[in-house]
């Protein structure tokens, strides 16, 4: 292997994104038994250097049995069979979502409302005793797991260097005082996780009357896949298999 020469003429391409106060609802119908729903917010991307704060918010809201939404929706109200948070960490903009499987489809609107209530309570009243410290420590433990995996460590170093320009980002992850981290958590929630900008997604079981249309769409999709695949025929021999010897 040799060095890869740098292209010093490269300029980062900018993509126009106009923030707006908008909320969108999308419902998909699929051949499933268990409905799935999600609440999603657009938040700053990795280039803002706040992925560590998003990690803390994840532990406060939905990661772990002691998180707010796990306690309220799973244990206390028993409205969902499962709940998870996820972070789609793109460079310029990112998504923060709460994914859940409701016991009753009629409860979905109320569940979205409860999710927003917990976020609003966090912004308005701050942290419960020990909540921030526990979330930070959990986030740090997950980072320590990364340090045990050299490939993942190298990936994160490269990713955050490209995103932030800081080669030491993961080594200074959540090293700030608790009060500084807490202010960042409250700010991010108050600015980007408001009711007016909560997007909602829902996947429902397909009805009997729609199944014939679903089959037609699937056949059209399969035909399109065949057209694409047939244009890329393999002309090289398949390498013979290698078997492990005892």
pLDDT value at residue 1: 57
Q: Which of 13-22, 67-76, 221-230 shows the highest mean pLDDT? A: 67-76
Q: How many CB atoms lie within 10 A of CB 92?
A: 14
- Any idea which residue has 């007016």 for tokens? 196
**pLDDT confidence tier of residue 97, bands split at 50, 70 and 90:** very high
Q: Is 158 helix (H, G, I), strand (E, B) or coil?
A: helix
The answer to whether the beta carbons of residues 79 and 111 sit under 8 Å apart is yes
What pLDDT band is residue 236 in, cutting at 50, 70 and 90?
confident
Per residue in 49-82, pLDDT (tens digit) is 999 999 999 999 999 999 999 999 999 999 999 9
Asked whether 61 and 39 are in contact (CB, 8 A), the reply is no
SS3 assignment, position 11: coil
Chain-centroid distance, C-alpha 4: 32
Mean pLDDT of 22-34: 94
Mean pLDDT of the chain: 92
């Amino acid at each position: 292997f040799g060095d890869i020469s740098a292209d010093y003429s490269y300029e980062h391409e900018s993509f126009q994104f106009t923030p707006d106060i908008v909320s969108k609802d999308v419902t998909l119908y699929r051949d499933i038994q268990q409905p799935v729903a999600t609440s999603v917010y657009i938040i700053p991307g990795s280039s803002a250097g706040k992925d560590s704060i998003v990690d803390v918010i994840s532990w406060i809201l939905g990661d772990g049995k002691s998180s707010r939404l796990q306690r309220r929706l799973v244990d206390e109200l028993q409205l969902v069979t499962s709940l998870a948070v996820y972070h789609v960490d793109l460079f310029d903009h990112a998504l923060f979502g709460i994914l859940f499987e409701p016991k009753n489809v009629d409860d979905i609107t109320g569940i979205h409302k409860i999710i927003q209530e917990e976020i609003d309570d966090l912004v308005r009243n701050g942290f419960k005793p020990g909540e921030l410290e526990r979330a930070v420590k959990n986030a740090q433990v997950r980072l320590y797991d990364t340090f045990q995996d050299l490939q993942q460590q190298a990936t994160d170093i490269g990713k955050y260097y490209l995103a932030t320009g800081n080669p030491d980002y993961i080594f200074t992850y959540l090293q700030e005082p608790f009060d500084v981290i807490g202010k960042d958590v409250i700010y991010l929630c108050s600015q980007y996780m408001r009711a007016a900008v909560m997007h909602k997604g829902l996947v429902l079981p397909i009805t009997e009357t729609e199944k014939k249309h679903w089959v037609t769409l699937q056949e059209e999709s399969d035909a399109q896949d065949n057209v694409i695949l047939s244009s890329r025929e393999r002309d090289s021999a398949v390498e013979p298999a290698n078997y492990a010897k005892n």
